[in-house]
Amino acid sequence: MHMTLLWFATRPVPNRQTQDERVWIQLFQAAPPLPKAVPVQTMRVPAAPTSPKRLAEASPATVVPATQSAPAPAPSDTPEELALLADPQAALPADVKQQMLKIAGAIDRELRAQQRQGFSVPVDTPATRLAKGMAAAHAAVKPKWYEAARVELFSAPNDPKRIYRVITATGEYCLFYPDKGSISANSNPKSGWASFGQPTASNCPIPF
């Protein structure tokens, strides 16, 4: 009985074999194994001679004949480059050149004649003299009561203070416009934005 119990106690316990139902997913691919390091064989190089005698003995002087290299040939121009560098008038015959020069001269003379602006005397004909006389007679006579008043510039054309003469059937008077660029006119108390630049009517000055 004791032997049986001792045999059961010393008997190895069997391991249970269970099936693993888990699924393993490999996210990254395993890297290949690194190659094994190859040992490098070192070679001994003999020491170079340092003294001049040893250098002369070790390496005898070899004379290399100097050969003069021939100069490289210059690149030849292509037909396109030759056509661009060539004179376009060299291939033309002589008569064509003369004809082109004549045409250019005629065009130049025509342009010069169009741009010429010389002083010319006004044409004085009986018709022009009659028209001037009629205009002067009409200006000397005052307009009728049914006609509109005539307005003409009385002052000099370059005068900033303009004076206009107004001629009516009953008489004439002048309108005096102030100079808007004058400091004295701008400093006038009556020169407001509504009244500044308005003319004043008065008798026409006596021309001298």
Q: Mind listing the pLDDT tens digit for each residue in 128-180? A: 889 999 988 888 888 899 999 999 999 988 888 889 999 999 999 999 988 87
Residue-level pLDDT at 138: 85
Q: What is the pLDDT of residue 19?
A: 72
The per-residue pLDDT for 14 is 66
Please choose, from the candidates 122, 45, 182, 205, the residue with its C-alpha nearest in 3D space to the C-alpha of residue 197. 182
Q: Which amino acid is at 165?
A: R
Buried b (16+ CB within 10 A) or exposed e, 66-93: eeeeeeeeeeeeeeeeeeeeeeeeeeee
Q: Which residue ranges in the chain fall short of pLDDT 50?
A: 61, 64, 194
Q: Which amino acid is at 1?
A: M
Half-sphere exposure of 206 (CA within 13 A, CB side): 1
Q: How many whole angstroms separate alpha carbon 12 and alpha carbon 2?
A: 18
pLDDT at position 56, please? 53
- Three-state SS annotation for the chain: CHHHHHHHHCCCCCCCCCCCCCCCCCCCCCCCCCCCCCCCCCCCCCCCCCCHHHHHHHCCCCCCCCCCCCCCCCCCCCHHHHHHHCCCCCCCCHHHHHHHHHHHHHHHHHHHHHHCCCCCCCCCCHHHHHHHHHHHHHHHCCCCCCCCCEEEECCCCCCCCCEEEEECCCCEEEEECCCCCCHHHHCCCCCCCCCCCCCEEECCCCCC
**Residue 150 forms beta bridges with which residues?**
167
pLDDT recorded at residue 59: 54
β-strand pairing of 172-176 with 200-202: antiparallel
